[in-house]
Amino acid sequence: MAEQQRPTTTHEITYYLNIENAKIIALFMVTGFLMYHGVIHLKYSNDTCKWLLSDGRFPGYNTWQPYGCMMHKYTKSDARMCMHYISYWGKRNHIAFLGDSRIRQLYYEFVNLLSNEPVKNYKAHTNLHFKDDEIKVSADFLWHPMVNTSMFYVYKSWLMNEPLNRPNQIITGSATWSIKLNNASEDALKNFQVNLTMIQPLFKNLKADKNTDIIWMLQDPVDENRLGLNRSMITNRQIDQYNKVAIDLLDESQAKVWSSSDFWPKESDNQLKI
């Protein structure tokens, strides 16, 4: 009996669902999606993928699924093609990574994605540079693990510089050094706040006058139980406090806060390459 029922149901479906009304249903679905996305964009932002940096889910290792948009996994040739297009449309790809070891890891990921020859990762406490004339990309890593006057002058010089000597995208972040060097003191946190307050207006000017995008990457949590004695002061409570200072200060600057890293698996001592 059951076996006979199946073909009849299929038959009924095909009876109602012919090519004409399938087109109508498809049209309704597409219009529905368009309206849904339109409303989302109106309500939240017209940035095509605002949530790329902030809201989404973490369905599995090495994947991040932002709300409201699809993530595409770029292969080397995809990424190179993308950079090619950007330069073809007259835009520059000069990206600066400024900060601590965690920012250096991003730099290595980025450069290794684009580079035809593998770039060796090592714990460089120096500046690193990458340039590929074929796809017109340059990337710099500037070692600035502390938010201090030295970091201030880097932004200041970018503001003064010719457009060609200035990155059009800056990815930055720092905190663990301050926590470690100052043994997680309250004063250091206040000092960090003072220093970032000093730099924050430069973020604003770089975006407003020079159209340079700035992304502040919040500090990822650590796996406290697996940090060695020398780093035991780097607690998640400290990291949260530094992140909070950054969020509050950067709220009214033009910098975007990259917070999705909070969802990543916690770093243990051998991953925390400081």
Q: Which residues bind ligand NAG (CB under 6 A)?
A: 145-150, 178, 183, 188, 191-192, 195, 228, 230, 233
Please tell me the total number of residues recorded for the chain in this structure: 274
Nearest CB to ligand NAG, comparing residues 192 and 258: 192
Rounded Cα distance between 58 and 63, Å, is: 6
Run of H or E including 156: helix 149-160
Residue 123 has phi, psi (to 5 degrees) of -80, 70
Compute the least distance from the CB of residue 172 to ligand NAG, in Å.
Answer: 13
Nearest CB to ligand NAG, comparing residues 93 and 195: 195
Residue 178 has phi, psi (to 5 degrees) of -60, -40
Task: Please count the CA atoms within 13 angstroms of the CA of 72 that sit on its side-chain side.
Answer: 7
Compute the least distance from the CB of residue 74 to ligand NAG, in Å.
Answer: 32
Nearest CB to ligand NAG, comparing residues 37 and 125: 125
Nearest CB to ligand NAG, comparing residues 114 and 188: 188
How many other C-beta atoms are found inside a 10 Å radius of the C-beta of residue 258?
Answer: 18
Compute the least distance from the CB of residue 182 to ligand NAG, in Å.
Answer: 7
Compute the least distance from the CB of residue 38 to ligand NAG, in Å.
Answer: 44
Which residues on neighbouring strands pair with residue 248, listed in sequence order? none
Compute the least distance from the CB of residue 139 to ligand NAG, in Å.
Answer: 20
CA angle 175, 193, 205 (to 5 degrees): 95
Compute the least distance from the CB of residue 235 to ligand NAG, in Å.
Answer: 10
Q: Whose CB is nearest to ligand NAG?
A: 148
Rounded Cα distance between 41 and 36, Å, is: 9
Nearest CB to ligand NAG, comparing residues 21 and 149: 149
How many other C-beta atoms are found inside a 10 Å radius of the C-beta of residue 67?
Answer: 14
Nearest CB to ligand NAG, comparing residues 32 and 228: 228
